[in-house]
């Protein structure tokens, strides 16, 4: 039985508490949050103890820590937890700063403890099936990947200001997806972004609408489109064109009823947002972590993957600001 401490009892912390408690081989032992009331409420729901971060990190009986706190704390908690011998599943992104994330990568590697980053979309059954079909060579050589990822509505400005920007906060999922599906990391990155959904987002120095092109070796290309607003719901689609065909994964809709009348044919909307669309993926992500940690096998997503996606986000942020294509070698150093 894997004994787990959860740091952070916010939106995503609640999702992880449920996944940890529902898994037959893991037990939620303790929950922390700077908001002690939030930690107490979540801990009580699952028969765990509310504790301080320090009390969780220094408890030798806790085997693993799930980091679901605000982004600016992730690297510090990954380092502290691995230093005390714990396995870690940390939410994305690894940090707001690439330099800080690289230092964390080095420190965590020295401890040889397993660290997984929460790129939950890899565990979505649809995207996983697309990736598996591509890996089996069912569409020949993959050449052009297209990812659409639109949120239903923008987050509050207070969130935007501390998020690190759309490329680090939101498109980071798509950067990881692109590298995972293409089985490679890009050589160059070209980005364009604007703030047309909410001018306040632009005033805060961020964008809400963006397109990024990833240039892979041998001329392979990925195009990622993000928007903070899709009035019909969470739009999550992937299309992969190969030398012998096309694979596409569409939206998961709220129900399967289709109404056909003289006015047209209408189906339900996509599931509203990430808590609806990816609930099963979060559980599968946790199950994959438990399996790797308990069996001592390779993690399906690593800290290196997290740093790699952050480096692409850094390049995209730079490209969107300057209008120039950014060579990944200048970012990776
Ligand atoms: N993978 C996903 O789909 C996904 C979805 C949402 C959020 N996230 C990531 O998860 C993280 C949390 O996001 P959220 O939406 O749950 O935010 P949130 O604000 O709802 O929750 C964060 C919680 O962390 C607590 N916290 C902050 N600093 C802390 C500290 N030093 N010690 C203890 N607790 C602390 C806050 O009080 C808050 O309760 C972010 O990094 C975000 O990028 C990932």
Residues 253 and 171 in one domain: yes
Residues 109 and 132 in one domain: no
What is the rounded CA–CA span in Å between residue 193 and residue 195? Answer: 7
* Closest atom of ligand 1 to CA, residue 69: 24
Q: Give nearest CA residue, ligand 1 atom 15.
A: 11
Residues 213 and 315 in one domain: yes
Residues 135 and 109 in one domain: no
pLDDT digits (tens, 9 = 90+) for 219-275: 999 999 999 999 999 999 999 999 999 999 999 999 999 999 999 999 999 999 999
Residues 82 and 182 in one domain: no
pTM for this predicted structure: 0.96
Range of the domain at 267: 122-277+309-332
Q: How many domains are contained in the chain?
A: 2
| Paired tokens of 272 | 């509203």
98-111 and 74-83 helices cross at what angle (nearest 10)? 10
Domain boundary among 74, 96, 113: 113
pLDDT digits (tens, 9 = 90+) for 174-192: 999 999 999 999 999 999 9
Residues 159 and 94 in one domain: no
Q: Is the CB of 95 under 6 A from ligand 1?
A: no
Domain boundary among 81, 113, 145: 113
- Centre of ligand 1 from the C-alpha of residue 199, in Å: 25
Residues 252 and 134 in one domain: yes
Query: What is the CA 168 to chain-centroid distance, rounded?
Result: 10
Q: Is the CB of 226 under 6 A from ligand 1?
A: no
What one-character-per-residue DSSP string does 161-176 give?
A: HHS--HHHHTTHHHHH
In this structure, is the dihedral angle defined by the CA atoms of residues 331, 173, 162 and 55, taken in order, positive or negative?
negative
**Average pLDDT of the chain, as a whole number:** 97
Residue-level pLDDT at 332: 84
State the average pLDDT over residues 200-218: 97
Question: What is the pLDDT confidence band of residue 309, given thresholds at 50, 70 and 90?
Answer: very high
In angstroms, the Cα distances linking 300 to 114, 133, 263, 292 are 11, 17, 47, 8
């Amino acid at each position: 039985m894997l004994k787990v401490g959860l740091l952070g009892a916010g939106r995503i912390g609640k999702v992880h508490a449920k996944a940890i408690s529902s898994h037959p081989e893991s037990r939620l032992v303790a929950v922390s949050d700077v908001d002690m009331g939030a930690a107490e409420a979540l801990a009580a729901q699952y028969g765990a103890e509310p504790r301080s971060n320090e009390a969780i990190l220094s408890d030798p009986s806790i085997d693993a820590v799930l980091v679901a706190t605000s982004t600016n704390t992730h690297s510090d908690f990954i380092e502290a937890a691995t230093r005390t011998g714990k396995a870690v599943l940390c939410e994305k992104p690894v940090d707001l700063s690439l330099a800080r994330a690289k230092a964390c990568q080095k420190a965590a590697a020295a401890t040889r403890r397993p660290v997984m980053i929460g790129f939950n979309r890899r565990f979505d059954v649809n995207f996983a099936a697309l990736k598996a079909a591509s890996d089996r060579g069912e569409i020949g050589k993959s050449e052009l990947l297209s990812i659409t990822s639109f949120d239903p509505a923008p987050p509050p400005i207070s969130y935007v200001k501390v998020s690190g920007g759309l490329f680090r906060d939101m498109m980071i999922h798509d950067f990881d997806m692109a590298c995972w599906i293409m089985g490679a990391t890009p050589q160059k990155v070209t980005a364009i972004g604007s703030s047309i959904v909410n001018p306040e987002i632009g005033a805060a120095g961020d964008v809400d609408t963006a397109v990024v092109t990833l240039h892979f070796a041998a001329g392979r290309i990925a195009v990622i489109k993000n928007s903070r607003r899709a009035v019909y719901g969470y739009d999550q689609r992937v299309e992969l064109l190969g030398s012998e065909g096309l694979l596409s994964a569409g939206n998961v809709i709220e129900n399967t009823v289709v109404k056909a009348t003289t006015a047209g044919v209408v189906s339900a909307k996509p599931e509203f947002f990430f808590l609806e669309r990816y609930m099963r993926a979060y559980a599968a992500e946790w199950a994959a972590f438990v399996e790797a940690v308990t069996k001592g096998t390779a993690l399906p997503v690593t800290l290196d993957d997290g740093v790699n996606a952050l480096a692409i986000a850094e390049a995209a942020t730079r490209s969107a600001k300057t209008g120039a294509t950014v060579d990944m070698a200048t970012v990776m150093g």
